[in-house]
């Protein structure tokens, strides 16, 4: 059985790092940086898990989580919502589960802190 992971991340370096990590564990990784790209991937591929960046230009990760949950095929698939210190101004971390994420990971804003 294939393990397909969709990563919704606008930062190319972060997306590449996450992809490399999960490919080492046998995942087929699909990266999207826009709502359009997410939809293209979902139309062609059955995804087993999602990693969603809370703050992305365009559609915010919170809204993507809600949209994923509205699709019956993905209603129970795991979603990891990622935010950074830079996202904190617009994200109430106590409400991550209101956004239908299963897991929440807070990353440092930069490597120098």
CATH code linked to domain 4-107? 3.40.50.2300
Quote the pLDDT of residue 60.
Answer: 82
pLDDT digits (tens, 9 = 90+) for 59-108: 788 888 889 999 999 989 999 988 876 555 555 555 555 667 888 887 77
Would you call 21 helix, strand, or coil by DSSP? helix
pLDDT in tens, 41-63: 999 999 999 999 988 877 788 88
Does residue 113 or residue 11 have the better pLDDT? 11
Strand partners, 32: 8
3-state secondary structure of 83: strand
Bridge partners of residue 31, in order along the sequence: 7
Spatial contact of 87 and 107, defined as CB atoms under 8 Å apart: no
Quote the CA–CA distance of 22 and 82 in Å, as a whole number: 15
CA pair distance 31, 50, nearest whole angstrom: 10
């Amino acid at each position: 059985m294939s393990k397909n992971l969709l990563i919704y991340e606008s930062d190319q370096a972060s997306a590449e790092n996450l992809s490399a990590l999960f490919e080492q564990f046998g995942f087929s990784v699909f990266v999207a940086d826009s709502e359009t790209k997410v939809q293209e991937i979902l139309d062609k591929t059955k995804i087993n898990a999602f990693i969603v960046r809370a703050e992305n230009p365009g559609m915010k990760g919170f809204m993507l989580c809600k949209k994923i949950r509205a699709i019956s095929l993905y209603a129970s698939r795991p979603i990891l919502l990622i935010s950074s210190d830079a996202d904190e101004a617009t994200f109430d971390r106590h409400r991550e589960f209101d956004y239908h994420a299963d897991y929440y990971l807070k990353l440092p804003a930069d490597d120098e802190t």
